[in-house]
Amino acid sequence: MKHTENKKPKAKPKAAFNADITKLTSLMARLRSADGCPWDKEQTLENLVPFIIEEAYEVISAIDAKDDAEIREELGDLLFQIIFASRIKEEEGSFALKDVIDVTVEKMVRRHPHVFGDKTIETAKTPKEVLERWAEIKREEKKNKPYEGYLAGVPSALPALLRAHKISKKAAKTGFDWKDIAHVLDKVREELKEFEDAVKTKNAANMEEEIGDMLFTIVNVARFIEVNPENALRKTIGKFITRFHYIEKALAKKNKDLSVASMVEMEALWQEAKRNRNTVKKVRQNR
């Protein structure tokens, strides 16, 4: 296979970049104008929330797929939502896209004193030191804000697994944590037993509470081994879909439908899909 060198795209001059942003902001202004799009004109910031979330996840999906064309397209869709939200606030007289950019630049410069500050005073030579300094600066920024609680800064809109991970990680920084992973695994077994007991009672509220406790403890297992549980689950979902589609395609070759296939037959195809994937992995590792 011919090797091709990955070349970084040349950075555009500032004037050209500004022109590109203007194209998008002008498009948004046209869509929201009196003779623009009826749907776009009636949208509010609250209406955009599900679209912003969806576009963010589609960017992640494109990154997982390692498809540059798709990443480019999905980043554009997410950027459009940012332009859209900024336009709505501009129409309300609150702020404009320029203000969004300015406050972000100011914040990033402030949080990177080791890059933009006095290098004889501010140093951060490792990623760990950068994160420690970042956290320290964030604490300073919040000093003048009303105190809402140590864990209040973790956004409630995050996916539950990711939020649980961030909350437990933040709590652990205060020393509120297990000594080692063995103790966390003991807690997993304890929570599993409590869930099994709840299942025996057939009480829906108890089962919901105990399965929540079990999931939260599993998140802490992931934290101890430095695995992001959201990423891990997303990859497992992708793996499940791939194997299930394998079953579907294999049955179709036999002129069979999923609805008529037996569990025994589907399980055999599932194991076949696993073997095929492991074979591909071994071939790649031996190259």
- Vertex 100 angle, CA 95 and 102, to 5°: 110
Instruction: Give 148-171 pLDDT, tens digit per residue.
Output: 888 988 988 888 999 999 999 999
DSSP state string for 184-206: HHHHHHHHHHHHHHHHHHT-HHH
Mean pLDDT, to the nearest integer, of 228-251? Answer: 93
At 125 the pLDDT is 86
87, 25 contact by CB (below 8 A): yes
User: Rounded distance, CA 12 to CA 14, Å?
Assistant: 6
Cα separation values, 279 from 24, 155, 265, 285, 287, Å: 47, 42, 21, 10, 13
User: Rounded distance, CA 193 to CA 210, Å?
Assistant: 9
Instruction: Give 84-121 pLDDT, tens digit per residue.
Output: 999 999 999 999 999 999 999 999 999 999 999 887 77
Q: Spelled out in words, what is the top-level CATH class assigned to the domain 160-227?
A: mainly alpha
**Which is more confidently placed, 191 or 1?**
191
Report the amino acid identity of residue 263. Answer: M
Is the entire prediction scored with pTM above 0.85?
no
User: Rounded distance, CA 138 to CA 272, Å?
Assistant: 51
- C-beta atoms surrounding 77 within 10 Å: 15
Instruction: Give 25-78 pLDDT, tens digit per residue.
Output: 999 999 999 999 999 999 999 999 989 999 999 999 899 889 999 999 999 999
DSSP state string for 76-142: HHHHHHHHHHHHHHHHTTS--HHHHHHHHHHHHHHT-HHHHS-TTT----SHHHHHHHHHHHHHHHG
Residue 253 has pLDDT above 50, yes or no: yes
**CATH 1.10.287.1080 applies to domain 18-94:** yes
At 1 the pLDDT is 41
At 206 the pLDDT is 96
Nearest to 214 by CA among 188, 176, 232: 188
Which tokens go with 219?
């998140």
In terms of Cβ atoms closer than 10 Å to its own Cβ (0-12, 13-18, 19+), residue 165 is buried
Residue 270 has pLDDT above 70, yes or no: yes
